[in-house]
Amino acid sequence: MTATIVTFGISKGGCSKSTSSGITSYLLSQEERVLAIDMDGQGNLTSFLTGEYDICNVFEEKTVLEAIIEGDARPYIIRIQENLDLIPSNDFLATLPRHMYSKGLKLNALQKTLEPVMKDYDWIIIDTPPSLSEQTILPLSTYSEGGSHVVIMFDGSMFAYYAIPKFIEMVEGAKERYNPNLNTAGILFSLIDSRAKENEVMLESIEEDHPNLKFDTIIKRKASTRRLPIAGFDGNPELKNALEYYIPFVKELKERVEQKQPQG
Amino acid sequence: MSNKNNLKDKIKKPNAPQAFFNSYDTKENVNDSNNNNNNETIDEINVKDNNTNNNKNIEINNNKTYVNDNDVVDDNDYLRELAAGKKAIKKKPKKVFTSFYMDPDLAAEVDKIAARGEKGDKSRLINQGIRSLLEEYGVINKS
């Protein structure tokens, strides 16, 4: 069986896509083999998992950009820890559309890039930028026999509320043209301020607009979670506290994904 | 798939993601068309006006466009007269647009020669230079 792909996305920044994809990768890797892929040129997932912030120099020509251009992910996979690998990114990912045009690559380019390693992992977790672009559409267009799923991040804001249908349009477009088994696993609430009075209205609105898509788990912002990129996972005394809301989310994600696994 | 989507677009205005996907469909169609016709492609050189700045790098893209062989005109005599400072007879062959980088010294010489001529003379000169080289390599037939 090939890896199950989970892409984190939303057409608005600051909704915890990188944090959520990083923590999800870490938690899944406790029991299964995980490949995390950073498709955002900001490289926050890369920095989060590696602890390296000088990404342009450290990962120069060793990123997902070069992997896609060459059509082979293998030379660009780096080991984070047992069961957890990463294909990093840096700012040069901004040149991806230009390279794709000049090389005549299509929107299934990431799928071709990942094909040699699809069976090496149980999960492929992909972080995307908050935009309609190749960096977002390529992961959505990546087919896997093991299933391809999307987690839509939502921070409770009006901007994110109106970004959800836009992102769903991207998902539908990719599903129609490249990835027929693409499935929206759910909408994950990651609330900046859990006390904000409009949250309840937003919750109801999302339930009405997108029935049964909202994850039961709600990620509430915690200082310990915010400190994870500083303290890291290993030997972090507040790790349990930092992951408090993500542990039930990952459990829920696995349940939803397993229900959608192709039969036979 | 692309024909179906094109038809959909005529019926219903595409949203942004559909327009994004369609942009790749269009490119695929062009590539398919290129393969089916199996024609040669000729790039026209886009020489920027360097009179107002000293940047001698000349930027280029690799757009490929078809040109009917009948449109290609031998500019050799015209350019020889132009380079020699003689009055040249104007010709207007059909060209296609592209861009590329030039060595600074070559760009300077091209500018000097073209400054004595008219609009389009830079393109004629570069075309003739590449044509001569490709004839020498045996890539195209001598005109």
Chain B residues touching chain A at CB-CB below 8 Å: 1, 5, 15-18, 20-21, 24, 27-28, 31, 62
* Residues of chain B positioned with their CB less than 8 A from the CB of A174: 21
Task: Say yes or no to pLDDT of B3 above 90.
Answer: no
Q: Hey, what are B61's tokens?
A: 């893209």
Q: What is the average pLDDT across B102-108?
A: 88
Q: Does A170 touch chain B (CB under 8 A)?
A: yes
Domain assignment present for residue A113? The answer is yes
Band of the pLDDT at A200, cuts 50, 70, 90? Answer: confident
Position A193 pLDDT exceeds 90: no
The stretches of B39-98 forming alpha helices (DSSP H) are 76-83
How is A50-72 classified by DSSP, letter by letter? H----HHHHTTT-SHHHHHHHT-
Is residue A194 one of the residues assigned to a domain? yes
User: Is the residue at A262 inside a domain?
Assistant: no
Which carries the bigger pLDDT value, residue A10 or residue B81?
A10
How does pLDDT run across B48-99, given as a tens digit for each residue? Answer: 333 333 333 333 344 433 333 444 445 677 777 778 777 766 655 667 777 7
Domain span holding position A244: 4-256
Question: For residue A191, what are the β-bridge partners?
Answer: A220
> Does the residue A160 lie in any domain?
yes
Residue B110 burial (CB count, 10 A)? 22
Structural domains of chain A, count: 1
Residue A77 domain-assigned?
yes
In this prediction, residue A169 has a pLDDT band, given cuts at 50, 70 and 90, of very high
A177 touches chain B (CB under 8 A): yes
Q: What is the ipTM of this complex?
A: 0.78
A147: nearest Cα among A60, A45, A264, A13:
A264
Residue of B nearest to A174 (CA): B21
What whole-number distance in Å separates Cα of residue A143 and Cα of residue A231?
A: 35
Q: Is A89 inside a domain boundary? A: yes
A110 vs B94 pLDDT, higher one: A110
What CATH number is associated with residue A206? Answer: 3.40.50.300
Instruction: Check residue B10 and give its pLDDT.
Output: 64
Q: Which of A20-24, A174-178, A222-226, B39-43 has the highest mean pLDDT?
A: A20-24
A264 lies in some domain? no
**Residue A227 is assigned to a structural domain of this protein:** yes
Residue A110, SS3?
helix
Torsion of CA A171, B11, A109, A14, to 10 degrees: -40
For B81, B116, B123, the CA distances from B85, given in Å and listed in that order, are 6, 7, 18
Residues A44-73: pLDDT tens digits? Answer: 999 999 999 999 999 999 999 999 999 999
